[in-house]
Structure formats: C-alpha cells, structure tokens
Amino acid sequence: MDTVFDDIANALREPRQDVWRPVRAFALDMAGKLFLGLAVGLGVGIGMAIAG
C-alpha cells in the first residue's frame, strides 16, 4: 500500500508533461487558418455575386 501512496505523491509533485501539446497547437492553428480562409473566400464570392 505504501508504494501506491508513494506513486500518487510523486505524480502530484511532478506532473507528467503533455507530449501532444505542440501537435494540438499546430492542428488548432491550421484549422483556424482553414476556416478563416473559407470565411474570406465565401465573403468575397458573395460580395462579387451581389455586385453582379
């Protein structure tokens, strides 16, 4: 039982590093750029359709 509590204490003292953080940041950045490009493209397309 002591080893279980030692493991819990070590985990609370030294949280493990999130190795997927850079990948998530890159994926969120690319998704944001994709949706921004889509929104701008739709805006230009609708604007040109209205202008005739």
Please report whether residue 1 resides in a domain: no
User: Which range marks the domain in which residue 50 is found?
Assistant: 20-52
Mean pLDDT of the chain: 87
More confident residue, 31 or 3: 31
Please report whether residue 45 resides in a domain: yes
* Res 1 pLDDT > 70: no
Please report whether residue 50 resides in a domain: yes
Please report whether residue 49 resides in a domain: yes
Total domain count, the chain: 1
Please report whether residue 3 resides in a domain: no
More confident residue, 20 or 8: 20
Give the tens place of pLDDT for each residue, 15-38. Answer: 677 788 899 999 999 999 999 999
CA angle 39, 48, 37 (to 5 degrees): 20
Structure-token match 């493991």, residue found:
7
Please report whether residue 25 resides in a domain: yes
What DSSP character marks residue 11? H
Please report whether residue 24 resides in a domain: yes
Helices (H) and strands (E) in the chain, counts: 2, 0
